[in-house]
Amino acid sequence: MTDNTKVLLKRQSTGIPVADDFEITTAPIEAAGDGELQCETIYLSLDPYLRGKISGRHMSGAVLPGQLMAGEAISRVLVSNNAGFAAGDIVAAHSGWQSHPVIEAAHARKLDPAVGPLSTFLGILGMPGLTAYAGLLRLGEPKSGDIVVVSAASGAVGSLVGQIAKIKGCRIVGIAGAAEKCAWVTGVAGFDEAVSYKSGDLRKGLDRACPDGIDVYFDNVGGDMLQAAMERLSIGARVVLCGLMAQYNSDEMPPGPNPAFIIKARATVRGMVVYDHEDLREEMVTEVSRWLREGRIQYLEDRAEGLENAPRAFSRLMQGKNVGKAIVVVGGE
């Protein structure tokens, strides 16, 4: 039998990972212990989140120099010491970058090869597929007729987002880099439009493809692409922050609010425009005035006397020097 070939992380990558950041080693294949499966890897998944693990920033934990590189793989069971699995079974597990892993049966998922091509269990039928499905349908809430824009549109996540949205009756615009990706997105995946940010101007492309704005933006990139899409959101739009390809290779935090925190906290971010909530005014006045009378609400006022002092007071306000609600007392009560 051949050895187990393993790929270890040799050192933390700086910027874009290079081959020299990794080290290939061989070791004898381990025997499966009680409850374990000895396997041979068929497909290994390479996913953007692994870059975060290398820099120790990913929520699933870090890979340290000297350790086996992490990753999900599809494997064939060679020897099973668990009643639920037999030799020849196909399993998915986070068994890392190695040719012959020994996997705890409890951490292996048996796959039915009749469901789809095996490699798709790492793509559209796997973790990226679930990301697209749940992210779009549960968070993006697409409605028939919506304009849905997705970045990294030819990838596992992006391509499925677009195609599910199409099935749901939306108009789909994919953002992608290379011309061949754009051609695939429209020609094969059935997107209505593709916008290339490499062979053309992203903003002009979005304006052309979405003249009426964007109802759902599914973001896989962050950075300027997120900014460009945000500039074009329609009233009531939903933005799904999913990935940050634009910043994974950087050790610096980008300027401005970092979407990473929103993703990490699974937070919902919604735009507030007070004019939309006029129907609550009467209720608000009734409630808050009651709380005020009951002494349960306190407030501060920053008063300026006389209209002539309004400009100065306004200037103070805009410098943040006001303490409480800025008010100009113009006349007597």
Ligand X SMILES: NC(=O)c1ccc[n+]([C@@H]2O[C@H](COP(=O)([O-])OP(=O)(O)OC[C@H]3O[C@@H](n4cnc5c(N)ncnc54)[C@H](OP(=O)(O)O)[C@@H]3O)[C@@H](O)[C@H]2O)c1
Tell whether residue 162 is a contact of ligand X (CB under 6 A). Answer: no
Tell whether residue 150 is a contact of ligand X (CB under 6 A). Answer: no
* 217: Cα separation from own chain's centroid: 11
Which one, 208 or 312, has the nearer CB to ligand X? 208
Which tokens is 226 given?
Answer: 């997120």
Using CA of residue 272, residue 275, residue 277, residue 281, what is the dihedral sign?
positive
Which one, 101 or 128, has the nearer CB to ligand X? 128
User: How far is residue 166's CA from residue 169's CA, in Å, rounded to a whole number?
Assistant: 5
Using CA of residue 260, residue 264, residue 270, residue 272, what is the dihedral sign?
negative
Min CB(270)–ligand X separation in Å: 19
Binding to ligand X (CB under 6 A) within 105-144 occurs at 127-128, 131
Question: Whose CA is closest to 73, among 39, 48, 106, 104?
Answer: 39
Which tokens is 133 given?
Answer: 């499905």
Which one, 16 or 86, has the nearer CB to ligand X? 16
Are the C-beta atoms of 27 and 107 separated by less than 8 Å? no
Query: Binder to ligand X among 122, 157, 165, 260 (CB under 6 A)?
Result: 157
Query: Binder to ligand X among 242, 260, 304, 313 (CB under 6 A)?
Result: 242
Which one, 76 or 166, has the nearer CB to ligand X? 166
In one letter, which amino acid is 217?
A: Y
Q: Near ligand X by CB under 6 A, which window of 31-39, 107-115, 175-183, 286-294?
A: 175-183
Q: Near ligand X by CB under 6 A, which window of 42-50, 96-104, 278-286, 309-317?
A: 42-50
User: Beta partners for 327?
Assistant: 303
Tell whether residue 47 is a contact of ligand X (CB under 6 A). Answer: yes
- Residues contacting ligand X: total by CB under 6 A: 23
Min CB(43)–ligand X separation in Å: 14
156 Cβ contact list (under 8 Å, min separation 6): 123, 124, 128, 129, 132
- What track of x and - describes contact with ligand X for positions 213 through 232 (by CB under 6 A)? -------xx-----------
Query: Binder to ligand X among 245, 262, 317, 328 (CB under 6 A)?
Result: 245
Query: Binder to ligand X among 140, 142, 155, 162 (CB under 6 A)?
Result: 155
Task: Provide Rg for the chain, Cα atoms.
Answer: 27
HEC string of 35-82 equals CEEEEEEEEECCCCHHHHHHCCCCCCCCCCCCCECCCCEEEEEEEECC
Min CB(8)–ligand X separation in Å: 23
Which one, 100 or 181, has the nearer CB to ligand X? 181
Tell whether residue 168 is a contact of ligand X (CB under 6 A). Answer: no
Query: Binder to ligand X among 17, 48, 213, 254 (CB under 6 A)?
Result: 48
Residue with structure tokens 């005014």? 281
Min CB(127)–ligand X separation in Å: 6
Tell whether residue 243 is a contact of ligand X (CB under 6 A). Answer: yes
Backbone angles phi, psi at 289, to 5 degrees: -65, -35
Tell whether residue 259 is a contact of ligand X (CB under 6 A). Answer: no
**Which residues of this protein are in contact with ligand X, per CB under 6 A?**
47-49, 127-128, 131, 152, 154-158, 176-177, 181, 220-221, 242-246, 263
